[in-house]
Amino acid sequence: MTKYGIITLPAFAGEDEGVRHFFGTRHHSGHPAVGRGSSGLASSEPVIVVSVEQVHGTDALVLDRPVKRGETFPGNWDALMTNQTGLLLTVRTADCVPVLVYDPVRMVAAAVHAGWRGAVAGIVPRTLSVMRRQFGSKPGSLQVGIGPSVGPCCYEVDEPVLSQLRVGFPDWRSVVRATGKGKALLDLRALVRRQAQAAGVDEGHIRSVNLCTVCHPDLFYSYRREGTVNGTMISGIMLTRHKKR
């Protein structure tokens, strides 16, 4: 579903469930509304946007207290999580995978930036285990939304990537297709999905936007396609004050 330049996955988190989310397209990313807090999310509540420096690492920023508007979070974070309402957790991606996580039981939300380095290093399962440790989130309760990224159609990787994948992910064969000597097409979204399942998330609780950022220049920026960083897409998730049930 695309509206106002954003894509949502109602099956991942409907609007009446105490959470809002979106995956941005190039028609939304960098829009000043994001910085001002309205963010493309229809909300009458005050919104504080949390945006951090990403480095293709695996560290998670835990926000378990109220945050002041304009507050910054020095450090390098590729995952953000909170149990606070009104905090819009955002990640920026071009071809990397934006992953949003929602725990409707413990009321926790997380946003993850997973490129191949972070994915292979296990940023998604690591984030889930930090959610469990910090907030008591059980993997079986979690909903996972996987956003648009470079697809297996367009993501040929070579030996340096494959050798790390083999070390980091025992089931690596299930997410690659060999194309030649030392080269293969890697399905980053499938890697994230399988890692989440291996961490205990129900298969039926994982939803993906199956759009390739390289194949859809009308919708997405792509470093792979454009050869340069022309822009990034912003994706976000926010707990809302009232759960309409």
Chain positions contacting Zn ion, by CB under 5 A: 151, 153-154, 212, 214-215
Shortest separation between residue 211's beta carbon and Zn ion, angstroms: 9
Shortest separation between residue 151's beta carbon and Zn ion, angstroms: 4
Largest CA distance in the chain: 55
- Cβ closest to Zn ion, residue 7 vs residue 108: 7
- Distance from C-alpha of 133 to C-alpha of 117, rounded to nearest angstrom: 24
Shortest separation between residue 191's beta carbon and Zn ion, angstroms: 16
- Cβ closest to Zn ion, residue 55 vs residue 154: 154
The neighbouring-strand residues paired with 237 are: 21, 89
- Cβ closest to Zn ion, residue 105 vs residue 153: 153
Please answer whether residues 87 and 48 qualify as being in contact, where contact means their C-beta atoms are separated by less than 8 angstroms. yes
| Position of minimal CB gap to Zn ion | 212
- Cβ closest to Zn ion, residue 112 vs residue 150: 150
- Cβ closest to Zn ion, residue 198 vs residue 215: 215
Tally Cβ neighbours within 10 Å of residue 133: 10
Shortest separation between residue 153's beta carbon and Zn ion, angstroms: 4
- Cβ closest to Zn ion, residue 135 vs residue 155: 155
Look at residues 115, 117, 48 and name the one whose alpha carbon lies nearest to residue 84. Answer: 48
Shortest separation between residue 173's beta carbon and Zn ion, angstroms: 21
- Distance from C-alpha of 91 to C-alpha of 5, rounded to nearest angstrom: 16
Burial label for 202, CB within 10 Å (0-12, 13-18, 19+), is: middle
Shortest separation between residue 137's beta carbon and Zn ion, angstroms: 33
Shortest separation between residue 58's beta carbon and Zn ion, angstroms: 26
List strands edge to edge, sheet with 176-180: 156-158, 183-186, 176-180
- Cβ closest to Zn ion, residue 15 vs residue 156: 156
**Residue matched to tokens 């089931």:** 171
Burial label for 56, CB within 10 Å (0-12, 13-18, 19+), is: middle
> What are the φ and ψ backbone dihedral angles of 167, each rounded to 5 degrees?
-75, -40
